[in-house]
Amino acid sequence: VSARDARFEALYRATRSDVLGYLLRRTPQREDAADLLADVYLTAWRRIDDVPPGADARLWLFGTARRTLANSYRADAAHRNLADRLRLELRASDIGRAGLDLTDANTAALHDALADLEPDARELLTLTAWEQLTAREIAQITGDAPGTVRVQLHRARAQLRGKLARLGISVARRGDVVETEAGFHHEMEAAASGLLDADRRMLLVEPALQQE
């Protein structure tokens, strides 16, 4: 086994689930994520000498996965059926959207609002929330400056909050002051006393626990 082979194998084993997760979250048919995964790692294998060392390798793969998704729905590797076994396993599994409770009104509304966003805004938000990437890491993937990504993220969150508001969902954090027709109230008091409109819901979330 050459050093090149060993490096690719280590990279593949360490990152394959994360990259598959990224593709599954963005692919309507979950089994297609297998073909896309094959394309990503075929690229990585052929360009293994260009893959950066350490933790940056994972970000390089996310970037490759992002381009693979954008450039070709039917991945090149699909034509060679490299991932046919994984494809069948994914098809037989419940992983992906089938496992998400879209009967929950809040979850469904959130996905509707998310789908209504511009693709770039949606990508920034989901890279943050689903792939747990920081603005600096996202900047490495998109090629933007970290500061630019932070600004774009801020705007994307505001846009999503606006979309949710139009769907009747307000987002507050504990400690927020809520303005109702009866005046200003602490969010807990407003929620408990029914001061919010009957057809509106307020989601309470924990304050941020960690700074980047």
Partner 1 sequence: MTSIRGDEVHDSPIGGIDALLADANPVSPDDLKALDAAAGFDDLFERILAEDAAPRAGAPIRRRKSRRTIASLALAATLLVGGATAAAAGWSSVHTGFFGHEGDTENDASEFLDLGADDAPQVAARLAVGIPFAPGDSAAAYIPGLVSGRGLMQADGIRSYLTSDALCGWWGAWLQSDREGDVAARARATSVLRDAPTWPIVVQNDGGGTVTFYEQIAASAERGDGAIVQQAFTANCESLPRNWEHK
170 binds partner 1 per the rule CB under 8 A: yes
* Integer Cα distance of 172 and 182 in angstroms: 18
208 binds partner 1 per the rule CB under 8 A: yes
* Integer Cα distance of 127 and 62 in angstroms: 10
Instruction: Give the binding range for partner 1 (CB under 8 A) out of 50-58, 67-75, 156-164.
Output: 156-164
CB neighbourhood size of 61 (10 A): 25
CB contact set of 191 (below 8 Å; sequence gap of 6+): 178, 202, 204
CB 16, min distance to partner 1, A: 6
Give kind and range of the element (H or E) at residue 169: strand 169-173
Among 6, 177, 189, 193, binds partner 1 (CB under 8 A): 177
- Beta carbons of 60 and 161 less than 8 angstroms apart: no
- Nearer to partner 1 by Cβ, of 54 and 205: the residue is 205
CB 54, min distance to partner 1, A: 20
* Integer Cα distance of 33 and 20 in angstroms: 7
Among 10, 70, 129, 145, binds partner 1 (CB under 8 A): 129
* Integer Cα distance of 49 and 41 in angstroms: 13
Restricting to residues 131-150, which ones interact with partner 1 according to CB under 8 A? 132-135, 150
Restricting to residues 95-114, which ones interact with partner 1 according to CB under 8 A? 95-97, 99-100, 106-107, 110-111, 114
Restricting to residues 9-48, which ones interact with partner 1 according to CB under 8 A? 9, 12, 16-18, 20-21, 24-25, 34, 37-38, 41-42, 45-46
191 binds partner 1 per the rule CB under 8 A: no
115 binds partner 1 per the rule CB under 8 A: no
CB contact set of 151 (below 8 Å; sequence gap of 6+): none
